[in-house]
Homo-oligomer: A and B are copies of this chain.
């Protein structure tokens, strides 16, 4: 382990880092030098000051300390730091922001030292919370998680969600560093350079706070040392910094956010900077070679539901998660204070050590899941389907981190009944379908839910499972096979005239319509499209070619839902696709009244069939 560097050595390194920031941003012609320069001394002190322990040859070492740039626009600093550590060449630095470079405008996981893709503000602390939670309660490792925060982004509510929850779980291994450079994008922040304003607000939440001059290495090193001794509290280092520090003509000046120096200004800035020792390399002590205990997967039982007794798919989710844990010991469940509605409480009761209450704070919950996933866990995240809209930005960003997260949304659709629109998930399919590699599953019965929860655990990536509030009949036997991208043809004959494609609660409306129309001699093909993304193209095309028309039925708004997905899959077919979906302002009522009102009840299906007959 190297001896900690002297202040002189750190100053040399900081100078080199500034040199890299200025040259790389001017070369790129865009980016955020001023926001990088304000945090340069803080990050140099952290990474090269001796407290941060990291094996650069193995960025994924389970016991590495973690550094997350929540203020992702300081990416020039992030890359410059790793250049100073000898991990990025000067030539590569010069590719920053160019097409194909690992060094993107904001950090992405294309760069191996990025713990997560960041850039949408107010997310890093939640991701760090997930990593700290993992170290303290799951892996039992001593790595510490550091998060560089901008002062502007402290306005984001998600920060305060993370601040509350981190204190609740006593995450003394989580260290936030606020780079208080006073200036936001378009002017001064709410609190400017009033560091006490941050301390007074954060400390009462149960955080240790340390106020420092963010350009004084003695104070910086002392702060990180102190932070590493916190016993029960997470630590927030609140640092007074100067935006553009080191370049006199942009220092603390408004109008320099996200603005690079032109060639002349660069020459002037580098002259001010003075001689730079390009040869110095910042050293980083390695971590103790500790590893998490590996729990061996064990075999599990099949689901078992008596055919006669209806069960809500949300309850089946809770049963499934509990049942499959032995086979997937990396599973962790988190929930937004509704575990008795989503039934994640069944898992919590059986495996209390693998469940974390996230309270009513969905943004932080989603960010925390990304942190857990980055540390190799399989987070199952549950709340009402409607309330995932709260975390759309975090969900969107977790896709850019290729996070392995499972989101389970209960209380989908108008079929929840009396509680009314505020509680109805009617945009969730559309929202999760926009995720590039996202999977969207919507099982109709307990057995398919159990099987799909298991498939979700196997699949690497983001999976959304939509569950239903009301009990639904058991449709499938436990030995039926369900796969991501699959479907089930429930009714089929050589004489089918129309195809009903649906999923979830309306599958039973389609089956009921089938029986009634059959008596009238009208035969329907009925398909349970439990996998909405990806979807079973072959089966859908076969149905399109075999029948005169397709009618999709969904307890979701028409826009972006199952119907539009089916139309996409069948756009090359001539068969018309009619969409029955929620199109009127929902209200309170019984599930049946509301399904009827929205035209997705069995009689609406029958009506539609006769209309196009």
Chain A interfacial positions (CB closer than 8 Å to B): 28, 30-31, 72, 97-101, 104-106, 108, 110, 117-122, 152-153, 155-161, 164-165, 168, 184-186, 189-190, 200-201, 204-205, 337-341, 345, 359-361, 363-364, 386-387, 389-390, 392-393, 396-397, 400, 417-423, 426-427, 430-431, 433-434, 436, 533, 557-560, 564-565, 567-568, 571-572, 574, 576-579, 583-585, 587-590, 593-594, 597
- B396–A386 CB distance below 8 A: yes
Cβ 8 A contact of A587, one of B104, B185, B190, B579: B104
Nearest B residue to A432 via CB reads B559
Among all A-B residue pairs, the 6 with the closest Cβ atoms: A157-B157, A119-B422, A99-B589, A560-B560, A160-B160, A389-B392
- A557–B360 CB distance below 8 A: no
- B120–A387 CB distance below 8 A: yes
- A106–B419 CB distance below 8 A: yes
Cβ 8 A contact of A117, one of B121, B165, B422, B584: B422
A164 to B163, CA, bound (A): 15
Instruction: Collect the chain B residues with CB atoms within 8 Å of residue A159's CB.
Output: 157
- B427–A559 CB distance below 8 A: no
Instruction: Collect the chain B residues with CB atoms within 8 Å of residue A557's CB.
Output: 434, 436
Nearest B residue to A99 via CB reads B589
Instruction: Collect the chain B residues with CB atoms within 8 Å of residue A153's CB.
Output: 360
A153 to B160, CA, bound (A): 13
- A418–B588 CB distance below 8 A: no
- B578–A571 CB distance below 8 A: yes
A153 to B189, CA, bound (A): 26
Instruction: Collect the chain B residues with CB atoms within 8 Å of residue A577's CB.
Output: 571
A204 to B576, CA, bound (A): 61
- A588–B152 CB distance below 8 A: no
User: How far is the CB of A301 from the nearest CB of chain B, in Å?
Assistant: 27
Nearest B residue to A117 via CB reads B422
**Given the interface contacts A152-B337, A567-B568, does A400 sit within 8 Å of B97 by beta carbon?**
no
A97 to B510, CA, bound (A): 27
A363 to B393, CA, bound (A): 11
Cβ 8 A contact of A426, one of B120, B430, B434: B434
- A120–B422 CB distance below 8 A: yes
- A190–B168 CB distance below 8 A: yes
Instruction: Collect the chain B residues with CB atoms within 8 Å of residue A185's CB.
Output: 337-338, 340-341
Cβ 8 A contact of A422, one of B118, B363, B436, B584: B118
- B155–A157 CB distance below 8 A: no
Instruction: Collect the chain B residues with CB atoms within 8 Å of residue A104's CB.
Output: 420, 587-588
A158 to B248, CA, bound (A): 38
With A117-B422, A168-B190, A184-B337 known, 13 other A-B pairs at CB within 8 A are: A72-B422, A104-B587, A108-B420, A119-B423, A122-B360, A155-B359, A156-B157, A186-B340, A426-B434, A427-B434, A431-B434, A433-B559, A436-B557
